[in-house]
Amino acid sequence: MFSKILKWTARLVLGLIVVVLIAFGIFSFLFHQHTNKTYAVTVRDIPVPDDSATIAAGRHLYEIKGCGECHGADLRGKVFVDDPPIGRIAGSNLTYGKGGLPASYDNKAWLKALRHGLNAENKTLLLMPSEEFTRLDDHDIAAIIAYCKAQPKIDTPSVSIKIGPMGKVLSVLGKIPLFPAEHIDHQREQPNLVVKASTKEYGQYLSVSCTGCHKPSLTGGDNPVPGGVPVANITSTGHVGKWSQEEFIATLRTGKTPEGKQLQAKDMPWPMTAQYTEEELTALYLYLKSI
């Protein structure tokens, strides 16, 4: 009797292991289909000036677009996810030092990464938010490239990206945005210059950087990071609708809301929004209040 139960338990456990292995095999297969897909794109070449005003504008964009969160403040690269089930994900060394970009990495290669989310083999970059950067105008994207190219070389060995079993499952299910190239209109013709002023139109342009977490509608919802706090609604129907312009600007600079809540930098990256100029925050406020 007892040995019969044992036998059945063993069969059951074995059966479960087989099911899990098959499911994992299927997810691995699907994952590789996403990462091995090659894209045929025509990269539109644009001039990249190298004067000091352009480089200064590029530095500001590097800060407010959060490049440093994933590539390091000095571009040396950074491991920003290190969790065995999800994986180890590192932003590349963006300098031309050892372990960084090859000397052959020209403006077209930069544009292909930033606007198409593709690497040198025309396969999707992993997790790099190019689906947001592809909406930047020619001036902004050229300034970012100019700034990065003007930085000193740093030698740091490149860290290879490794996606764990949970990371494969969640990315295949679309729960983590691992494949930017799939979410880009590769035919998009970006404007040469979006007028930078305290207007809601400029606010809409800037708000693309908020959509990765606050959703394209900016009404918030689930956190894109598994297990993260829910993301707030930042349209006029949320708290922001009740805040004055001064309160909005103070919140994005200090992380402290008029309701007295201290936003945590790991949830809401307010040290990044603190770097926005008065004009940029005003534009964002006007846009958010209008939707």
Q: Which residues bind ligand HEC (CB under 6 A)?
A: 65-67, 69-71, 89, 91-92, 94, 101, 110, 113, 119, 125-129, 133, 144, 148, 161, 209-210, 212-214, 223, 229, 231-232, 234, 238-240, 251, 257, 261, 263, 267-269, 273, 284
> How near is the Cβ of 16 to ligand HEC at its closest, in Å?
34
- Alpha-carbon distances, residue 81 vs 3, 99, 230, 272 (angstroms): 46, 19, 19, 18
| Both tokens assigned to 144 | 């970012």
> How near is the Cβ of 131 to ligand HEC at its closest, in Å?
11
Judged by CB, which is closer to ligand HEC: 84, or 221?
Answer: 221
> How near is the Cβ of 18 to ligand HEC at its closest, in Å?
32
Task: Give just the sign of the alpha carbon dihedral 115, 119, 120, 122.
Answer: negative
Long-range contacts of 72-80 (CB under 8 A, 24+ apart): 74/151, 74/154, 75/148, 75/151, 75/154, 76/154, 76/156, 77/156, 77/158, 77/159, 79/159
Judged by CB, which is closer to ligand HEC: 12, or 229?
Answer: 229
Judged by CB, which is closer to ligand HEC: 129, or 167?
Answer: 129
- Estimate the crossing angle of helix 107-116 against helix 138-149, to 10 degrees: 130
Residues facing 221 on adjacent strands:
231
> How near is the Cβ of 13 to ligand HEC at its closest, in Å?
37
Judged by CB, which is closer to ligand HEC: 18, or 73?
Answer: 73
> How near is the Cβ of 169 to ligand HEC at its closest, in Å?
19
By the 10 Å C-beta count (0-12 exposed, 13-18 middle, 19+ buried), 88 is classed as middle
Residue 112: in which H helix or E strand, if any? helix 107-116
Judged by CB, which is closer to ligand HEC: 170, or 231?
Answer: 231
> How near is the Cβ of 264 to ligand HEC at its closest, in Å?
6
DSSP strand pairing (162-163 vs 78-83): unpaired
Judged by CB, which is closer to ligand HEC: 54, or 273?
Answer: 273
Identity of the amino acid at 173: L
| Both tokens assigned to 246 | 């001064």
> How near is the Cβ of 72 to ligand HEC at its closest, in Å?
10
Judged by CB, which is closer to ligand HEC: 204, or 273?
Answer: 273
